[in-house]
Every structure is written in structure tokens, then in C-alpha cells.
Amino acid sequence: MNLLVFLSNRCNMTCDYCFLDLNGHASAVLDEKAALRALDAHVAKFAGARRVHVTLIGGEPFIHWDLLMSLARRLHAHAGRGVSASVVTNGTLATPERMRALAALGVGVTVSLDGDAAANDAHRALIGGGGPALGRILEKLGGELSGADANFTVCEDTAPALVRGFEALRKAGFRKLKLHLKIQERWTPGGLAALGVALDGLGRWWRAAGKGLELGNLGSLRPAGPNPHCDSPDPAYQDLVLGADGRFYPCYSVFAEPFSALGEWAVGDLDGGVDWKRRERLHEEARAFIHARLSRARHYRCPREAYFLARAAGEDPAGLVRSFHEADNLLGDALSRLLAPAGAP
């Protein structure tokens, strides 16, 4: 049961594929006391019956270091009940001390980096410029990467650099790379072909040099077949999202819009709690829409984020859902082949 907690709508980077509404509208920072109560309530409801994971995210969560540590300490206090926690950061405000403080509380750190400097800096930039982003981020992290994961976003134009990206991040010290597709990418036929070629290359590289590296991408690591993240009405397979404005939402992709415009998407708040029925209704709508438009029953990673993102932007989600699905099946097939036990068909 994954709870995504958004600490604020502020970030010190301006990545061109970021769809979150950041920095442009009124500042929203999560209320600490209310958030702690919400964490306790979530743990009380699910811990024991389910594995509970809480992801702390932003904007950039390290901007709010004291708030981040307060939530991390509370989650650490619940660790004995099977609760785990991680933080997703751009790494620019990390220091070796901060990395160690999070590790001491058992909080996993995922750094968003997209491969080598050319691919990363093509899309991920610091506000105000100031030089190449990747080099500065790695310098900040100060060699404290042995337990950190990298979130590696693949875009149409950077897909051909996949192998170089893997080499660069392994050299930097990462041991687990989590591949994600840019959600709002409209893949062209040429782009899909190039992605296929890059994934074949990654397969060859992985077999020759991937020893010791872990790969992740939620659904992509499952065997082919119905994906509970997309096909099951079980709420355990759907993230619950707590926005920095203190309201709960069915998916973080709706944060493409400012909080002031998100009333129709809210499924509860910190005072009243979660309206689980309403949340399920919204997911059921998404599931029905997606299933009606995809001819292929198999889903590695559910395109529900693409659905919610397009809806929040006032667009017909069909094209985005199909585009995401096509690219994700290429990625999922490749990773499944890569990770299949030796001798498997």
C-alpha cells in the first residue's frame, strides 16, 4: 500500500518533461502536524494486513529538510510494523551528512538522473542555469551512493543513449537503476524503433557487463499476464497520494494543474480522511477507459498516470494512453527477457 506524500510544490530545478505545477503559483507546503497524524492513520489502517510503503517526494523534498526529517522519524518509529519509507530527490541539496541521516532512519534514497551528462542535461536543468546539472549533483552527493537508487527517465530523444547512461550511473556508484518512460511522450514510429534497438543493445551490454546491477520498474519485473496494477480493482495496487495542500488524490499526475484547480480530483483531506469509495470510482473510470482502448491485454506498467495526466490537462487521454502503452510494452518485454532465469523460453 504505497502512500505518496508531496511535501511542497517547490523545486530548484526546471526539467522540461516535468509535468508538475511547480513554482508558478501560490506556495503549498504540507502541514507537519497534520501530516504526522495522517501517517499514523494510514499505518493504523493498513499495517499488519498489508506491506506499507511511504514515498516522500516534492517538488524537491530536501528544500524542506526539517519537515522531511520529522516525517522520516515518524515512519522509522513505525518500522517494526512493516512500514518502509523512501525519498525521491533531484540530489542537488544532498550532502553526505544528510544521506547518512536518512540511511540511519532506514529511509531509501532515489535520485532522479537520466544517464550520462549529455542525456541528463538535455532535459534536467537547474533553475538559473549555472552549468552542467549532472556533474554538480554527483559532486553534492559526495560519494554516498552505495545504497541509493537512480530513477532513470527515458525520452524518445535520449533512448539511443541507454547503454551509455547505464555505464555512467554504474560508474557513479548506483547499484539499482529504475527505468521509467516519460509519461507524456508521444512516441513516433521511428522513436519506437530506436527504443527497440537501444533495448537490444542494453540486453547485450547487461549480459556482458551488468553483473551486480539491479533493475527496477514496478510492473516490468513481473511475468507477463494480467497486471494487478492495471487490471485489479484491489486498492492495494493503486497509490494513494497526499498533496502538499493537505488533500488526498487518486494519482499525482493531476498535479499538472495548480492545487487551486484540483477540487474535482480531491478524494479527502487531512481532517476528514480518505473517501475510499470516491477514489475507487475514479480508478474504475480510468481502468474502463484504458481497457476499452487497448487491443493488447498485457500491461507491464498501467498507463493510468497517462490517463490522469491527460484528463487533468483537459485532453482526450486516448492518444497518450496508447503511446505510453506501446513504448512500455517494448520496455517491459525487453526487461522481462533480460531478467528471465537462464533457460526460460
Q: How far apart are CA 332 and CA 252, in angstroms?
A: 22
Shortest CB 59 distance to ligand SF4, Å: 5
Strands of the chain (E only): list them.
2-6, 52-57, 83-89, 107-112, 149-154, 176-181, 214-216, 240-242, 248-249, 268-269, 273-274
What type of residue is 123?
Answer: H
Contact predicate 82/47, CB 8 Å = yes
Nearer to ligand SF4, 13 or 244 (CB): 13
Residue 29 DSSP SS3: strand
* Phi, psi angles (nearest 5°) of residue 6: -95, 115
Question: Which residues of this protein are in contact with ligand SF4, per CB under 6 A?
Answer: 11, 13-15, 18, 20, 22, 58-60, 90, 112, 124
The residue nearest ligand SF4 at its CB is 18
Nearer to ligand SF4, 11 or 68 (CB): 11
Nearer to ligand SF4, 19 or 307 (CB): 19
Shortest CB 92 distance to ligand SF4, Å: 8
Concatenate the DSSP letters of all residues of 225-251 into one string: S--HHHH---GGGS-EEE-TTSBEES-
Shortest CB 112 distance to ligand SF4, Å: 5
Nearer to ligand SF4, 4 or 52 (CB): 4
Nearer to ligand SF4, 55 or 227 (CB): 55
Q: How far apart are CA 87 and CA 111, in angstroms?
A: 8
Q: How far apart are CA 302 and CA 200, in angstroms?
A: 23
Q: Of 86, 91, 77, 79, whose CA–CA distance to 108 is shortest? A: 86
Shortest CB 311 distance to ligand SF4, Å: 20
Concatenate the DSSP letters of all residues of 71-94 into one string: HHHHHHHTGGGTEEEEEEE-STT-
Shortest CB 18 distance to ligand SF4, Å: 3
**Side-chain-facing half-sphere of 257: CA atoms under 13 Å:** 19
Shortest CB 113 distance to ligand SF4, Å: 10
Nearer to ligand SF4, 20 or 192 (CB): 20
Shortest CB 121 distance to ligand SF4, Å: 12
Nearer to ligand SF4, 60 or 185 (CB): 60
